[in-house]
Amino acid sequence: MQLITHPMDNYQAQSHELAEWLQSIQNAQTTDSLWNALSQTLQMVLGCKKTAVYLKNLTTATVTCPYANGLTDHMRDVFAETMRSYAAVNPDLVFSPVVVSDVHQIPDEQLIKRTLIEEMIDAYMLIFFTTFDSWGMVALLGDNATLFSPNEVNTGQAIVELAVANLKNQQMQQKLAAARVRELRRNEITQTLNQAFDLPTILQSICRIATELIYADGGVLGLVVDNQIMIFYPYNVPAKMNLRPAMRGRGVAWQIVESAQPVLLTDYGTHPQAQIKWVKNDIKAFLGVPIIGNDECLGAICLFDTSPERQFTREEMDLIESVGRQAGMAIQNSRMLAEVEQRASALANSLSRQEELDKLKNQFIHAVSHELRTPLGIIYGHAELLESGDLGELTLVQQNSVQIVLRRIRMLTDMVEDLTALMAAETQEFRRDFINPLQLVYSMLAEYRMQAEDLDLTLQAELAESLPWLHGDLTHLRRVFDNLFSNAFKYTPAGGSVTLRMFVEGEKIIIEVADTGEGIEAQHLPRIFERFYQVTDEQYRPRRKGTGLGLALVKEIVEAHRGEVYVESELGVGTTFRIELPGHVNPEGEGVTKGQLV
Ligand code: ADP
């Protein structure tokens, strides 16, 4: 039985069908199903059997045709050409639809006319739209029955808008998913960098992550070595591409390094520095960014793709540039770490060598000073005997010689004494007695008063009324004063003064020996307490006679008494040595006061 439909039934059926088609546009999950639904709906509503969709990328201006239904290849290309010929447009501006109801009206000079007539297309309409990254066009081709009335144009536009809303939605979802993947990959990079891998592993991982980040086919990370050569860390690069280190100036990667600028190519082969090998391996889309660390270009990350439709976008370029910066930091850090490690091990080596040398030196000094004491004593005794005349009268010349011998022996003996004291201070061979500090300085002042007068120096003392006791070795402490006084006398010209101050600060006894002498240049101050260190003139001669052991001995002795020694000096003004020693309470004696000694 045949069903006769009432016109109203027919209308209802049609609107029901339309609603279903519109819904299929809204619900399409992929772009393919979307274009399909759009084409079917337009066919149903406007009666056009032939539909094509074109997209023009806003960044690269490339035109693609993701969907075509019923068009010959030639026809499809003709409209692609039409799309291409439209200048790049402002994405906010969408053209009004182009409606050609009768192609015979098209001027003859327009090439499109012939093709349309040949393919028996009588009318067509172009509807434009924009998405996030493209400008789009839907071409609807009709036959002589198609009128494209204003109503139909409006309806067509509304249907396309519905499809574009879905398209944008899909793009949004993709962007969100891509952003999520990017975030994951970024975290992966940070993690890779934080794990203390060796540099090659880090670089290899960065290259892999960068490639995966933008779904490229493969990539290489080039690292500049010694300024002249670039070595490569590849990811997913066919073995036949045979990556060898590249000399400066050869290849796109070197161009990126030299210009420190990214390179984005739709067809790698068109670049003047393109490598034959790469072109032969069908490299098409290419994206290269510099690796920057500390304002220096350390290499490049180059990603590629071989599929003809694939284009890298500016957004992807920005992303990979940020990976380039991370890689730069990683390279810098790893180089710094390597340098620090190298220095640390060199330092450790030299320290242990230094320690070994110090030990040997001490052993040597110990042995020499002990071995010299006895023979020096004997030589001294005999020289004195000679000088006394007991062994027979000496001529004037002989007397002079003996004087020189005696003077030199005394110098040597002093040195051996200093060395022995130094060893004793170091090995803590010390007595621990309670010493009255005022008694000690009075006796020292008495000893040096005559010498001061001879040298025309004022020797003065500023002493606190009462002081705690010192605890230590009197002989060694006397040496401290001996050295400080003899230095002050040595380096202070006639007419100057030497002041000894002794006072209390907290629990410490402070002893200062200040002179108005020639002073010490600041550059020497940190070293004057070193053994054998002497301030020398331009010819590297010491300014006065000495061994360079005096202050080293002072420091050793003071430190062995748990004290500290400081120096302050100004060239041409004078020098002050300050000694801080712990004050003690003598369990048997009373406190020390000046009155007791006067
Ligand atoms: P030296 O036996 O040469 O005097 P020291 O260890 O006692 O050795 O002193 C080291 C150097 O410090 C000396 O060479 C000298 O140049 C400098 N120096 C020490 N005391 C004074 C001072 N009071 N004034 C100026 N220079 C001094």
The per-residue pLDDT for range 33-77, each reduced to its tens digit, is 999 999 999 988 888 889 999 998 887 788 999 999 999 999 999
Amino acid at 375: P
Q: Do 582 and 478 share a structural domain?
A: yes
Q: Do 161 and 94 share a structural domain?
A: yes
537 CA from centroid of ligand 1 (Å): 13
The CATH number for 100's domain is 3.30.450.40
d(CA 286, CA 252): 10
Does residue 150 lie in a domain region? yes
- Summarised one tens digit per residue, pLDDT across range 217-228 is 999 999 998 888
Amino acid at 596: Q
Ligand 1 in reach of 493 Cβ (< 6 A): no
Does residue 221 lie in a domain region? yes
Q: Do 94 and 38 share a structural domain?
A: yes
In ligand 1, which atom is closest to the CA atom of 534? 14
- Summarised one tens digit per residue, pLDDT across range 308-353 is 778 898 888 998 998 899 889 888 888 877 777 788 888 888 788 8
- Range with the largest mean pLDDT of 3-12, 270-279, 463-472: 463-472
- Which residues, in sequence order, are bridge partners of residue 400? none
Q: Do 327 and 411 share a structural domain?
A: no
Residue 278: is its pLDDT beyond 80?
yes
What's the DSSP call for residue 389? T
> Residue 567 phi/psi, 5° resolution?
-135, 145
Q: What is the pLDDT of residue 595?
A: 62
> Residue 580 phi/psi, 5° resolution?
-115, 120
Does residue 182 lie in a domain region? no
d(CA 136, CA 139): 10
Q: Do 366 and 328 share a structural domain?
A: no
pTM: 0.43
- Closest C-alpha residue for ligand 1 atom 7: 550
Q: Do 42 and 81 share a structural domain?
A: yes
Does residue 189 lie in a domain region? no
Q: Are 464 and 504 in contact (CB under 8 A)?
A: yes
Q: What is the DSSP string of 464-481?
A: -SEE-BEEE-HHHHHHHH
Measured at the CA of 215, the angle between CA 323 and CA 236, to 5 degrees, comes to: 85
Amino acid at 185: R
- Range with the largest mean pLDDT of 14-18, 300-304, 541-545: 300-304
Residue 357 lies in domain: 351-426
Strands 497-505 and 458-463: parallel
Q: Do 99 and 37 share a structural domain?
A: yes
Does residue 2 lie in a domain region? no
Worst-scoring range by mean pLDDT, 8-17, 105-114, 478-487?
A: 8-17
Q: What is the pLDDT of residue 87?
A: 67
pLDDT tier at 1, thresholds 50, 70, 90: very low
Residue 246: is its pLDDT beyond 70?
yes
For 292, the token pair is 């920057």
- Closest C-alpha residue for ligand 1 atom 20: 487
pLDDT tier at 10, thresholds 50, 70, 90: low
d(CA 444, CA 442): 5
In ligand 1, which atom is closest to the CA atom of 488? 23
> Residue 69 phi/psi, 5° resolution?
-130, 115
Q: What is the pLDDT of residue 4?
A: 41
Question: What is the greatest pairwise CA distance in the chain?
Answer: 168
Residue 5: is its pLDDT beyond 50?
no
SS3 (DSSP) at 70: coil
Amino acid at 179: A
Q: Are 565 and 555 in contact (CB under 8 A)?
A: yes
Q: Do 139 and 228 share a structural domain?
A: no
Ligand 1 in reach of 496 Cβ (< 6 A): no
Angle (deg, nearest 10), helices 7-27 and 31-46: 160
Q: What is the rounded average pLDDT of the residues 514-534?
A: 92
Residue 272: is its pLDDT beyond 80?
yes
Q: What is the DSSP string of 554-595?
A: HHHHHHHTT-EEEEEEETTTEEEEEEEEE-B--SSS--EEHH
Q: What is the rounded average pLDDT of the residues 551-564?
A: 92
Q: Do 306 and 373 share a structural domain?
A: no
Q: Do 420 and 445 share a structural domain?
A: no
Does residue 188 lie in a domain region? no
Q: What is the pLDDT of residue 3?
A: 40
Q: What is the pLDDT of residue 430?
A: 78
Q: What is the rounded average pLDDT of the residues 414-433?
A: 78
Ligand 1 in reach of 534 Cβ (< 6 A): yes
Strands 50-57 and 63-69: antiparallel
- Closest C-alpha residue for ligand 1 atom 23: 488
pLDDT tier at 460, thresholds 50, 70, 90: very high
Ligand 1 in reach of 527 Cβ (< 6 A): no
The domain boundary, picked from 426, 449, 470, lies at 426
Where do the H-state alpha helices sit in 28-108?
31-46, 73-85
Q: What is the dihedral of CA 488, 492, 495, 496, to 10 degrees?
A: -60
Domain count, the chain: 4
Q: What is the mean pLDDT of the chain?
A: 86
Ligand 1 in reach of 125 Cβ (< 6 A): no
Q: What is the rounded average pLDDT of the residues 166-179?
A: 88
Tally: H helices and E strands in the chain = 14, 20
Ligand 1 in reach of 543 Cβ (< 6 A): yes
The CATH number for 586's domain is 3.30.565.10
Give percent of the chain with pLDDT exceeding 90.
41
Q: What is the rounded average pLDDT of the residues 196-214?
A: 84
Q: Are 235 and 219 in contact (CB under 8 A)?
A: yes
Ligand 1 in reach of 488 Cβ (< 6 A): yes
Q: What is the pLDDT of residue 499?
A: 97
Q: What is the pLDDT of residue 88?
A: 57
Burial (CB count <10 Å: 0-12, 13-18, 19+), residue 35: buried
> Residue 405 phi/psi, 5° resolution?
-60, -45
d(CA 325, CA 204): 15
Where do the H-state alpha helices sit in 198-313?
199-213, 252-259, 276-280
Q: Do 585 and 488 share a structural domain?
A: yes
d(CA 415, CA 248): 64
Q: What is the rounded average pLDDT of the residues 125-154?
A: 87
Ligand 1 in reach of 546 Cβ (< 6 A): yes
Give the Cβ contact number of residue 411 at 10 Å: 13
Q: Do 77 and 125 share a structural domain?
A: yes
Measured at the CA of 19, the angle between CA 18 and CA 21, to 5 degrees, comes to: 65
pLDDT tier at 363, thresholds 50, 70, 90: confident
Residue 573: is its pLDDT beyond 90?
yes
Does residue 516 lie in a domain region? yes
For 58, the token pair is 């806003």
Give percent of the chain with pLDDT exceeding 70.
94
Q: Could you tell me which of 121, 87, 118, 122 has the C-alpha nearest to residue 102?
A: 122
Ligand 1 in reach of 369 Cβ (< 6 A): no
Pocket residue to mutate for ligand 1, from 528, 544, 555, 578, most atoms within 8 A of Cβ: 528
d(CA 493, CA 220): 76
Does residue 244 lie in a domain region? yes
